[in-house]
Amino acid sequence: MHEEYLEAFLAEAMENVERLETLCLTLERDGSRPDLLDEMFRAAHTPKGMSATMGFSKLATLTHRVEDLLGALRDAHVPVEPRHVDALLSAVDRMRARLQAIAASSQEPEETDDDVLAALAGALSRSEGTFEPRDSSRAPFANLSDWARRAAAENKELYTIHLRLVPECIMPGVRLAMAYQALKASATFMGAHPAEDQVMAGQVEATEAFAAVLVSPGEIARVREAVLDITDVSACDVSKVNEVPSTPVTDKPRPERDDLSVKDSMSRPSFGALASGADLRRDATLRVPVRKADELMNALSDLVITKTRLATLVAASDDPDLKEAAERLDRLVADIQDGLTRLRMVLVETVFHRYPRMMRDLERRLRRELDFVMTGLDTEMDRVVLEEMGEVLVHLLRNAVDHGLEPPEVRESQGKPRRGTVRLSAYTSGGQVFLEVSDDGRGIDRDRVLQTAIAKGWVAPEEGASMSDESVFALLFRPGFSTAERVSDISGRGVGLDAVREKVEALGGQIRLQSVLGAGTTFIIQLPLTLAILPALLVSVRGQVFAIPTANVDEVRRLTRDDIRHVQERPVLRDEKGIVPIVDLAERLALGARREGYPQTVVVCRDGKRRLALLVDQVLDELEVVNKPLGRFLQHVREFAGATVLGDGRVSLILDVRFIANSA
């Protein structure tokens, strides 16, 4: 049973931990408010109960102590201080580490969490002095005096207990009934409000209740634990009744609580409606292991290849029934492909949510002051691509804070706002996903970059004089650019960027940067929506068939001799958009000599702002191809981004337009 549910436990627990981290940052930024603390409580409460069920006791204890601090903040209505958030974030880090360790070994680590528990306890204890002690006399019981006398006679202690359920609790009456049963099983149950018989009959929908119990000295902690283990119980505040009021209080709930209860009751649908709604929520999402989705996608890839093969055979047939069946199959495969592709798409928010915490820590550690702005969180992209980009974005964001933003006093001396801004944006355009990391910091000194490249012998001085800004900044992505002398000159902007580019290109994407000295820098990453299946234009070159991703294709043109110009003895195409270099694929791929006859067919491709005309023999078709990785013997041939199997069974290489354009 443990192994059966471990995967689901880890997924849900990690989701709640990440949610709790985000809420901690919101708490620090916006201060406490009831709805926020309630949300944090729910994020901590769920993994606590699941951990206890799975037998991970240390994780359950840790989350329990997080709840204690959250409960104290909520009940005391004290201003949230940095030490509170620090303690909560340290607990979040430990919870995440424990979950990762459990994922790796299926076992909970033996190490204790004494340091984190001490931090939570410290934050809690230092806050207790500001908490308003709960007045037990406010509990709605008229006979506390009699119960207190009985407790004294039996050498026991009388406690009033204030129970609260999470606001969205679907069946509050059932949860309260379970809580009452837990109290009766672990203590002498004296009474409750709402009354026990009403709760057991399901006649209440309150999300809070009071109870009174007698326990032996020192046993109230055990009673409290038993109640808190019940799902949807968010708080269990206990107050020892030391002094019995001379005048019994009336059996009347606190007015403000009553008001809330009435409002809750009025706005709450009927019990039956709630139960129906709960079922709908359960059906709204379905957790599927990523491994199974990937297996299904691989099977679909083979199905697409088979479909293409079948379409080729059908084209040579005169059987109308066969043609109809093939068309039907084509539509079905397209529907499945579309649906499965959508399943693999996830919101970028699922990865972006990691970064506010990191930026907060960087801000403190590097003594910067910044606003971190994220936009386009609802942008969707392939899960695999997004996960692979996680570390790339970490690198760029760290770079933006460490090397991009100036210290606050420097910014002020330059007339800039003391607080800098770092933006992380996502958006889609033309079947591609764009991720941007920008800052309004010092920018990059173009001339220093160029002079460094010239000093290294990478660029000839005469060549550097005609280089565009984009070409100069592209030098930062070259391995080995980050030497010590360059770091002091241009703020280390080249450190690790070669690794960043390598990762982006491995995913079929590209990266470039724009920078204005003194105004800031923007890194722009362009990625495919999905890696598995892509539309492509098939072209023939000396009898070989190659695929060009249509995302890179601008147009197909027929050229006469008069259309071609020469710049520095290189053929180019001039049109209304500018000059486009012409590359003969036969010559480039060593398949034969350059074509001399006219007219000639070129496929005008685009790589970002750069354009390139690929000279081919013939354009064959446009269809969807399955992008298969190259084998180890071809993986270092940079002109190709992958391979696919055509309908006739032949293997076609997919051209890497970006690399060909860069090296043209």
Query: With helix as H, strand as E and coil as C, how does 276-319 read?
Result: HHHHHHHHHCCCCCHHHHHHHHHHHHHHHHHHHHHHHHHHCCCC
Give the model's confidence band at 516: pLDDT under 50 very low, under 70 low, under 90 confident, else very high.
very high
Q: Confirm or reject CATH 3.40.50.300 for domain 533-662, answering yes or no.
A: no
- Rounded mean pLDDT of 502-530? 85
Which segment of 89-93, 200-204, 245-249 scores lowest on mean pLDDT? 245-249
What is the model's pLDDT at position 422?
95
Give the three-state DSSP class for 66: helix
Q: At residue 191, does pLDDT exceed 50?
A: yes
Q: At residue 540, does pLDDT exceed 90?
A: yes
Count of beta carbons in the 10 Å neighbourhood of residue 183 = 25
DSSP letters for 363-395: HHHTT--EEEEEE-TT-EEEHHHHHHHHHHHHH
Q: How far apart are CA 210 and CA 575, in angstroms?
A: 81
- CA-based torsion, 212, 215, 218, 224: positive or negative: negative
Q: Which CATH architecture has domain 3-124?
A: Up-down Bundle (1.20)
CB 227 within 8 A of CB 182: yes
Q: Which strands make up the sheet holding 520-528, listed edge to edge?
A: 370-375, 420-429, 432-439, 520-528, 510-516
- Rounded mean pLDDT of 333-354? 82
What is the model's pLDDT at position 244?
46
Q: At residue 125, does pLDDT exceed 80?
A: no
- Please tell me if the domain spanning 143-240 has the same topology as the one spanning 346-484+492-528: no
What is the model's pLDDT at position 257?
34
Burial of 438 (0-12, 13-18, 19+ CB in 10 A): buried
The more confident residue out of 522 and 642 is 522
Phi, psi torsion values for 96, nearest 5 degrees:
-65, -45
- Rounded mean pLDDT of 275-300? 60
Give the model's confidence band at 565: pLDDT under 50 very low, under 70 low, under 90 confident, else very high.
confident
For the stretch 229-279, pLDDT in tens is 787 787 787 777 765 444 433 333 333 333 333 333 333 333 333 333 333
What is the model's pLDDT at position 148?
81
Return the closest-CA partner of residue 617 out of 543, 549, 535. Answer: 543
For the chain, the structural domain boundaries read 3-124, 143-240, 346-484+492-528, 533-662
Q: At residue 209, does pLDDT exceed 80?
A: yes
For the stretch 611-656, pLDDT in tens is 899 999 999 988 777 777 776 677 677 788 888 877 677 888 988 8
What is the model's pLDDT at position 309?
78
Cβ neighbors of 582 (< 8 A, separation 6 or more) are 564, 570, 571, 572, 573, 602, 613, 615
What is the model's pLDDT at position 374?
93
Give the three-state DSSP class for 11: helix
CB 22 within 8 A of CB 349: no
Q: At residue 108, does pLDDT exceed 80?
A: yes
Which segment of 10-24, 149-163, 191-205, 249-263 scores lowest on mean pLDDT? 249-263
The more confident residue out of 175 and 246 is 175
Beta bridge mates, 515: 521
Q: How far apart are CA 143 and CA 148, in angstroms?
A: 9
For the stretch 432-444, pLDDT in tens is 789 999 999 999 8
For the stretch 53-80, pLDDT in tens is 788 888 888 888 888 888 778 766 667 8
- Rounded mean pLDDT of 499-524? 86
What is the model's pLDDT at position 662?
75
- Rounded mean pLDDT of 362-379? 90
Cβ neighbors of 332 (< 8 A, separation 6 or more) are none
Return the closest-CA partner of residue 32 out of 63, 77, 88, 90. Answer: 77
What is the model's pLDDT at position 250?
37
For the stretch 446-458, pLDDT in tens is 888 888 888 888 8
CB 403 within 8 A of CB 513: no
What is the model's pLDDT at position 520?
93
Q: At residue 285, does pLDDT exceed 80?
A: no
For the stretch 457-471, pLDDT in tens is 888 888 888 888 888
CB 212 within 8 A of CB 141: yes
What is the model's pLDDT at position 44?
85
Q: At residue 158, does pLDDT exceed 70?
A: yes
Which segment of 26-30, 129-133, 279-283 scores lowest on mean pLDDT? 279-283
Q: At residue 135, does pLDDT exceed 60?
A: no
Q: Which tokens sit at 599?
A: 């007219």
What is the model's pLDDT at position 456?
82
Q: How far apart are CA 106 and CA 98, in angstroms?
A: 11
Phi, psi torsion values for 526, nearest 5 degrees:
-115, 125
pTM score, whole prediction:
0.57
CB 518 within 8 A of CB 566: no
Identify the CATH class of 143-240: alpha beta
- Rounded mean pLDDT of 209-223? 83
By residue count, the chain amounts to: 664
Strands 533-541 and 188-193: what pairing?
Answer: unpaired
Return the closest-CA partner of residue 102 out of 54, 46, 62. Answer: 54
Q: Which CATH architecture has domain 346-484+492-528?
A: 2-Layer Sandwich (3.30)
- Rounded mean pLDDT of 164-185? 79
Q: How far apart are CA 556 and CA 564, in angstroms?
A: 15
Q: How far apart are CA 35 and CA 25, in angstroms?
A: 15
User: HSE of 193 in the Cβ direction (CA atoms, 13 Å)?
Assistant: 18
Average pLDDT, the chain: 79
Count of beta carbons in the 10 Å neighbourhood of residue 510 = 22
CB 305 within 8 A of CB 286: no
Task: Provide, rounded to the nearest whole percent, the portion of the chain with pLDDT above 90.
Answer: 15
What is the model's pLDDT at position 140?
64
